[in-house]
């Protein structure tokens, strides 16, 4: 099946594949299986954030490897995750993230949600607090520079 014949839907003006490869429950085979999925033609990857059952860093490395092989561009790919970093207190407390949130007068979680939006991900919140729901949606009002986006990507992959 050629890329142009793969079914997609439009989400906020972006093409989103209608068939995603899920990385949950792949455990120590996460990287190899993600790379295989990309090599087979999957353009959508769902990380599901099942930390006990997959290797998040291996997903990033598999994507980087596939991009380096030259058959794909980052703009070809759709990555979906379950709030990959908002439940990760050490990540949210990183000085770089704290500085970004202080500069914008927002929470560190909002920085992560905004990053997800700018990276083409569909963020997912699981909060039970109405206040947090409103705060999470306020991520639409924040803008990150390309330098900020790259800094977050580098932190997440390290």
pLDDT digits over 25-57, tens only? 677 888 898 898 888 888 888 776 556 656 778
pTM to 2 decimal places: 0.54
Mean pLDDT over 99-107 rounds to: 96
Sign for the pseudo-dihedral over CA of 124, 129, 133, 135: negative
Which pLDDT value is given to residue 3?
A: 47
Q: What is the mean pLDDT of the chain?
A: 80
* DSSP codes joined into one string, 68-137: HTTS--GGG-EEE-S-TTTT-HHHHTSHHHHHHHHHHTS-HHHHHHHHHHHTT---------HHHHHHHH
CA distance 148 to 71: 27
Q: Given this model, what pLDDT does residue 102 score? A: 97
How far is it, in rounded angstroms, from Cα 114 to Cα 117?
Answer: 5
**pLDDT value, residue 1:** 36
């Amino acid at each position: 099946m050629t890329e142009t014949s793969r079914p997609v839907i439009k989400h906020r003006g972006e093409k989103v594949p209608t068939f995603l490869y899920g990385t949950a429950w792949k455990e120590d085979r996460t990287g190899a299986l993600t790379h295989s999925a990309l090599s087979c033609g999957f353009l959508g990857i769902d990380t599901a954030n099942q930390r006990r059952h997959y290797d998040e860093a291996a997903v990033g490395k598999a994507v980087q490897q596939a991009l380096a092989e030259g058959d794909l561009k980052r703009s070809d790919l759709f990555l979906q995750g379950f709030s990959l970093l908002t439940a990760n207190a050490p990540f949210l407390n990183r000085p770089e993230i704290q500085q970004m949130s202080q500069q914008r007068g927002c929470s560190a979680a909002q920085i992560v949600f905004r990053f997800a939006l700018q990276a083409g991900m569909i963020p997912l919140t699981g909060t039970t607090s109405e206040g947090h729901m409103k705060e999470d949606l306020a991520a639409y009002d924040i803008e990150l520079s390309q330098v900020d986006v790259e800094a977050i990507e580098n932190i997440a992959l390290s």
